[in-house]
Amino acid sequence: MRRRILINYVVTLILSALITGALAFYFIESSYLDSKEEKLKTNINLIEGILQDNYKSKTKVNFFRLAQDLSLKTNSRVTFIGIDGWPIADSINNSIIFDDHSYTPEFRNAIKGDRAVVKKYSEEIGKKYSYLSIPPIKVGDRDVILRLGDSYDEVDHIVEEFVRYLVVATFIGILFAITISYVSVKEIVKPIKELTIASRQISEGEFDKKINVHTNDEIEELSVSFNQMATRLKETINQLKDANADLDAILSSINDGIIALDKENNITLVNEGVKKILDIDIKGMVGQNIIDALRDIECIGQIEEGVNSPDDFYTEIKIEGADTKYVSLATYPIMKDARSNIKNGQLLIIRDITSIVKAENMRKNFVANVSHELRTPLTSIIGFVETLRIKKLDEKNKEKVLDIIELETEKLKKLINELLILSKIESIKEVRDLSKVHIVDDVYEVLKLLEPQIKSNNIDFELNIEDKLNPINGDKDLFRRILINLVENSIKYNNTGGYIKVNISNYQKGIKLVVEDNGIGIPEEDLPSIFERFYRVDKSRSINREGTGLGLAIVKHIVLYFGGSIEVDSKLGQGSRFTVKLPN
Ligand code: ADP
């Protein structure tokens, strides 16, 4: 820009120097020639007077001397030409090759009586001349035409000088122009430079950039508009950012995986849910084709089928892994706008349905388990009732059979009781029945109840209970159930001569209950499942240890209902420790 302005300056200067030079040259030449013409006219009148006064009646005239005399007086070239056109004498050249002058314009003018100045190049002398002739007059005994000439060759010299000065002046002018233009261009370019820098910064996201230009011209107007534009841009971008942040917040708070696709199945949007459900890195997914982006996913076949299906698509997929997952996949079309029928892309919704599928499986298993657990004692009871009816048994054997029937009925009753407790706790949706209860007395009563069992198994028992035990937010009967089930298990899964330690202390505002034994322990791989309904660790080790597999499930449900937590530490062959924390 600076160079362009400089070139413009210099070109303008050269052009104006040329035009000024040409005009000046024309003016100088024409005024110079005018003055020459005036001089010729004055001189010729003077000479004409002299000749008429002094030479009209002279008989012998030396024309050469006369021409030279007159030339000295007038400082002009003086030529006498006969009326036949042949020159008689010339002041500057007395040995000139005299030519016929009858064809020359000045001669013809003279003959015609026309006193006009003729400008021409003199071949004999090699210079430019202005000539003026007068009609024939009598000089001595001859009729002659007087011609006066004045060289204007020096006009060329003057022009030459003029051009030299003009070139020097132009050169100095160019130097001035460069200096002035450098300074002024710097001033002009400064605000433009500022604008350029500011627009670059804005394009890099610095919308607070403002330009302060006070040039009082279009550049100031431009900078004002520029500042307004930057403010608007900032507002618009902030609005867009807010809208985007809202959308981001909404999308990331949705647990389902959401992927939006354009018409070419390229990803235009993806949320955190996809990362959580499919366990993949979603960074850089936007812009990629869905199939490329998810090619490592096990269910890519179904995803491909879904996104390529012409209608809404739904399928459920099992993803094998450390934790087997179940996900549902659904696709919905994205319309161009609310009213149109034109499909602009589609939405892929991925939902983690593991808990739903597991609950469903659990429900199926539960029914199967309950049926199985009920059928076993029932079959046995039916069998023994048949025996009683058909076989003629003596009193002793009859008693034995009736004892077995009673035992099986007890088992059945226990199972049904536990099922009832479980379903009762599960059906409680609210915790409004809970209240602050002190459980010290209940602890002693439960342990008194269990004492015979402990003693008959020859087990050492130790109870530690904090003096001022905090109350808990719960229900006395349900608390008793927790303690009974845990201590009964410690008796059941203990060895003769083993020990059980029950420790109850204050924990935060509630209590901590620890039931510990050095019994048979639980294998590590079974630990995560022991709180599930009907889960029993390896039935073979439970021979002689009657159970329903519902005890710990009941404990866990009560603890959760109380808002507490339960943990188990156990080593096979070394014993188990159950820790229950119950809040106030
Ligand atoms: P069960 O009626 O079989 O005792 P539970 O739900 O009470 O059912 O217990 C689930 C399983 O956990 C039991 O089958 C048993 O193998 C194991 N278990 C529970 N408590 C203990 C314990 N104190 N020591 C060792 N194993 C235990």
- Ligand 1 mean position to 432 CA, how many Å? 31
**Counting beta carbons within 10 angstroms of the beta carbon of residue 528, is it exposed (0 to 12), middle (13 to 18) or buried (19 or more)?**
exposed
Q: Is 287 left (phi over 0), alpha (psi -120 to 50) or beta?
A: left
Tell me how far CA of residue 34 lies from CA of 75, 150, 152, 249, 360, in angstroms: 17, 12, 11, 96, 125
What is the distance in A from the centroid of ligand 1 to the CA of 483? 14
pLDDT of amino acid 429: 64
Does residue 185 sit within a domain?
no
Give the CATH number, domain containing residue 289. 3.30.450.20
Give the whole-angstrom CA distance, residue 561 versus residue 427.
Answer: 11
| Whether the CB of 494 sits within 6 Å of ligand 1 | no
Ligand 1 nearest-atom number relative to CA 541: 16
- Ligand 1 pocket residue status of 575, Cβ below 6 Å: no
549 lines ligand 1 (CB under 6 A): yes
How confident is the model at residue 218, as a pLDDT?
83
170 is a domain residue: no
Q: Out of 425, 453, 483, pick the residue that ends a domain.
A: 425
Q: Write the secondary structure of 230-299 as one string of H (helix), E (strand) and C (coil).
A: HHHHHHHHHHHHHHHHHHHHHHHHCCCEEEEEECCCEEEEECHHHHHHHCCCCCCCCCCEHHHHCCCCCC
CATH number at residue 536: 3.30.565.10
Q: In what order do the strands lie in the sheet with 313-319?
A: 267-270, 257-262, 343-352, 325-335, 313-319
Do 344 and 266 sit in the same domain of this protein? yes
- Do 323 and 397 share a domain, yes or no? no
Give the Å distance between the CA of 124 and the centre of ligand 1: 147
Among 348, 373, 388, the domain boundary falls at 348
Residues 476 and 452 grouped into a single domain: yes
Residue ending a domain, choose from 156, 180, 196:
156
Based on the fold, state whether residues 265 and 377 are members of the same structural domain: no
pLDDT of 97 strictly over 60:
no
Contact indicator for 60, 50 with CB cutoff of 8 Å:
no
Residue 322: domain span: 256-348
Q: Is 111 within the bounds of a domain?
A: yes
Task: Give the pLDDT of residue 152.
Answer: 80
CA angle in degrees (0–180, nearest 5) for 273-274-278: 120
Residue 530 pLDDT: 94
* 486-511 mean pLDDT: 95
Say yes or no: 420 and 438 in one domain: no
In a domain, 166, yes or no: no
**Do 60 and 133 sit in the same domain of this protein?**
yes
End-to-end CA distance of the chain: 81
Q: Is 329 in the pocket of ligand 1 (CB under 6 A)?
A: no
Same domain, 365 and 483: no
Rounded Cα distance between 345 and 334, Å, is: 5
Number of domains in the chain: 4
Nearest-atom number in ligand 1 for the CA of 485 is 7
Question: Rg of the chain over CA atoms, in angstroms?
Answer: 64
Question: Separation of 464 CA from ligand 1 center, angstroms?
Answer: 23
**What separation in angstroms does the CA of 463 have from each of 14, 122, 445, 487, 504?**
116, 151, 13, 11, 8
Question: Is the shortest distance between the CB of 77 and ligand 1 below 6 Å?
Answer: no
User: What distance in angstroms lies between residue 582's CA and the mean position of ligand 1's atoms?
Assistant: 21
Residue 189 placed within a domain: no
Asked if residue 564 and residue 524 are part of one domain, the reply reads yes
Same-domain pairing of 449 and 532: yes
Q: What is the mean pLDDT of the chain?
A: 88
Amino acid in the structure at residue 452? P
Residues 30 and 36: their CA atoms lie apart, in Å, by 10
pLDDT digits (tens, 9 = 90+) for 350-361: 999 998 998 888
Report the C-alpha dihedral over residues 175, 176, 180, 183, rounded to 10 degrees.
50
Tens-digit pLDDT profile for residues 102-134: 888 989 999 998 888 998 887 777 788 889 999
Is the Cβ atom of 576 under 6 angstroms away from ligand 1? yes
Domain match, 517 and 460 both? yes
Ligand 1 contacts CB of residue 495 (under 6 A) = no
- Residue 281 domain flag: yes
Task: Name the residue of 376, 450, 489 whose CB sits within 8 Å of the most ligand 1 atoms, as the mutation to test its pocket.
Answer: 489
431, pLDDT greater than 70: no
What DSSP designation does 85 have? Answer: S
Same domain, 538 and 485: yes
Is residue 164 assigned to a domain? no
Of 400, 409, 471, the C-alpha closest to 437 is: 471
Section 457-481 average pLDDT? 95
Query: In CATH, what number is assigned to the domain containing residue 375?
Result: 1.10.287.130
Q: Ligand 1: does its nearest atom lie under 6 Å from the Cβ of 345?
A: no
